[in-house]
Amino acid sequence: MKILVTGGAGFIGSAVIRLAISRGHSVINLDALTYAACLENLAAVADNPTYAFEHADIRNRPEIDRIFGKHQPDMVMHLAAESHVDRSIDGPGTFMETNILGTFNMLEAARKYWAEGGKPDGFRFHHISTDEVYGSLPPDPEVQFTEDTPYDPRSPYSASKASSDHLVRAWAETYGLPVLVTNCSNNYGPYHFPEKLIPVVTLNALHGKPLPIYGDGSNVRDWLYVEDHAEALLLVIERGEVGRTYNIGGENERSNLQLVETICGILDRLRPRGDGSSYSELITFVADRPGHDARYAIDPSRIREELGWRPSVTVEEGLERTVRWYLDNEDWWRPLLSRQGVGQRLGTGR
Ligand code: NAD
Residue 134 annotated to the active site: no
Q: How many domains does the chain have?
A: 1
CATH of the domain at 179: 3.40.50.720
Q: How far is the centre of ligand 1, averaged over its atoms, from the C-alpha of 183 (Å)?
A: 13
In a domain, 343, yes or no: no
Domain that holds residue 95: 2-191+224-252+298-313
CB count in 10 Å sphere of residue 147: 17
Residue 350 in this model has a pLDDT that exceeds 80? no
In a domain, 81, yes or no: yes
Residue 349 in this model has a pLDDT that exceeds 90? no
First to last CA, the chain: 47
In a domain, 16, yes or no: yes
In a domain, 122, yes or no: yes
Q: How far is the centre of ligand 1, averaged over its atoms, from the C-alpha of 100 (Å)?
A: 13
φ, ψ (nearest 5 deg) of residue 313? -130, 155
3-state SS assignment for residue 76: strand
Q: Is-contact 68 110, C-beta < 8 A? A: yes
Pocket test for ligand 1, best of 6, 18, 30, 34 (most atoms within 8 A of CB): 34
| Percent of the chain whose pLDDT exceeds 70 | 100
- Residue 227 pLDDT: 98
In a domain, 72, yes or no: yes
In a domain, 160, yes or no: yes
Which pLDDT tens digit goes with each residue over 222-232? Answer: 999 999 999 99
Pocket test for ligand 1, best of 11, 40, 67, 293 (most atoms within 8 A of CB): 11
What is the mean predicted confidence (pLDDT) over 1-7? Answer: 98
Residues at CB less than 6 angstroms from ligand 1: 6-7, 9-13, 31-34, 36-37, 57-59, 79-83, 98, 102, 128-130, 161, 184, 186-187, 193
pLDDT tier for residue 121 given thresholds of 50, 70 and 90:
very high
Residue 94 in this model has a pLDDT that exceeds 90? yes
Angstrom distance (rounded) from CA 42 to CA 31 = 12
Which pLDDT tens digit goes with each residue over 9-25? Answer: 999 999 999 999 999 99
Which pLDDT tens digit goes with each residue over 286-338? Answer: 999 999 999 999 999 999 999 999 999 999 999 999 999 999 999 999 999 99
Q: How far is the centre of ligand 1, averaged over its atoms, from the C-alpha of 96 (Å)?
A: 13
What is the overall mean pLDDT for the chain?
97
In a domain, 323, yes or no: no
What is the mean predicted confidence (pLDDT) over 170-199? Answer: 98
Whole-model pTM over 0.85: yes
Residue 188 annotated to the active site: no
What is the mean predicted confidence (pLDDT) over 51-68? Answer: 98
Angstrom distance (rounded) from CA 190 to CA 272 = 21
In a domain, 86, yes or no: yes
Residue 132 annotated to the active site: yes
Q: 31, 54, 132, 227: which is the annotated catalytic residue?
A: 132
